[in-house]
Amino acid sequence: MAAPLDPLDNRLLATLPQAERQRWWPALEPVEMPLGQVLYESGRTLSHVYFPINAIVSLLYVMENGASAEIAVVGNEGIVGISLFMGGESTPSRAVVQSAGQGFRLEAQLMKDEFNRAGPVLHLLLRYTQALITQMSQTAACNRHHSLDQQLCRWLLLSLDRLQGSELVMTQELIANMLGVRREGVTEGALKLQQAGLIRYARGHISVLDRNGLEKRTCECYAVVKTEYDRLLPATTAT
């Protein structure tokens, strides 16, 4: 039997002060997050926010013709659904589970009530939102100025930071949709990384063999994003 999920395995939840934990924990609902599940669609009002534990969620901007490109990834460091407490209620992006796992969800009204208390939760969520905006901005710059090889390394490293272990389950088609490129480009990029001994890719499973090698091969965008998350979201658990 699988061990029960622990909210402390989500970095954002683990940073909550004790008083907030006592209020939140009974309201957190464990949920399965299967590959490809859409947590919210563009323009829809959110009913819940989500805290991934061992899943990764991709935030995608979807064009009118159905084409999409990833603008950010969220895993065990954060929350999916910031528009709920930022006042917009909805967002033009789509949230899709890109790596299956589990997490917790919290009802929309409860989240808004907590944010409106204007205490530690408000400041924590605003710091997280700043980190997420940094990731979105850096992704846009990276997609414009850096090679597909560097983008792929950045994407792999950001995904690894949000999972336990060194393996991802991801098809080339899904990676192509995330990066907004043709599938052939992903195939070529993954082959280069495999030939360099950095990853092993087979039937949708990506195993990272040399993380340091990926960090040396990627652009500065990964370090910018990681540094900002580490600065804004302390790794230590609040007491």
Of 124, 150, 168, 165, the closest CA to residue 222 belongs to: 150
CA distances from 209 to 56, 171, 193 (A): 20, 18, 10
What sign does the dihedral 193-195-200-202 (CA atoms) show? positive
Residues 163 and 122 in one domain: no
Residues 129 and 162 in one domain: no
202 in any annotated domain: yes
Residues 11 and 112 in one domain: yes
118 in any annotated domain: yes
16 vs 149, higher pLDDT = 16
Q: Which CATH number fits the domain that encloses residue 152?
A: 1.10.10.10
- CB atoms closer than 10 angstroms to residue 99: 22
Residues 33 and 113 in one domain: yes
pTM of the full predicted structure?
0.87
User: Rg of the chain's alpha carbons, rounded to an integer?
Assistant: 18
Tell me: the pLDDT tens digits for 140-152?
A: 888 788 888 888 8
Q: Is the pLDDT of residue 106 over 90?
A: yes
Residues 55 and 127 in one domain: yes
Residue-wise DSSP of the chain: -PPPP-GGGSHHHHTS-HHHHHHHGGG-EEEEE-TT-EEE-TTPPPSEEEEESS-EEEEEEE-TTS-EEEEEEE-TTS-B-THHHHT-S--SEEEEEEE-EEEEEEEHHHHHHHHHT-SHHHHHHHHHHHHHHHHHHHHHHHHHHS-HHHHHHHHHHHHHHTSSSSEEE--HHHHHHHHTS-HHHHHHHHHHHHHTTSEEEETTEEEES-HHHHHHHS-THHHHHHHHHHHHS-SSPP-
Residues 27 and 138 in one domain: yes
Show the tokens assigned to 31.
């949920």
Q: Do 93 and 140 meet the contact criterion of CB atoms below 8 Å apart?
A: no
Residues 63 and 98 in one domain: yes
183 in any annotated domain: yes
- The structural domain count of the chain equals 2
Q: Which CATH number fits the domain that encloses residue 48?
A: 2.60.120.10
Q: Do 198 and 217 meet the contact criterion of CB atoms below 8 Å apart?
A: yes
Residues 128 and 166 in one domain: no
Q: Supply the pLDDT for residue 129.
A: 93
Q: How confident is the model at residue 238 (pLDDT cuts 50, 70, 90)?
A: very low
pLDDT, mean of residues 167-179:
69
Tell me: the pLDDT tens digits for 20-50?
A: 999 999 999 999 999 889 999 887 888 999 9
Residues 137 and 46 in one domain: yes
Q: Is the pLDDT of residue 51 over 80?
A: yes
Residues 41 and 131 in one domain: yes
pLDDT, mean of residues 84-102:
84
For residue 172, what are the domain limits?
A: 147-219
213 in any annotated domain: yes
Q: Is the pLDDT of residue 236 over 60?
A: no
Residues 175 and 84 in one domain: no
Residues 43 and 160 in one domain: no
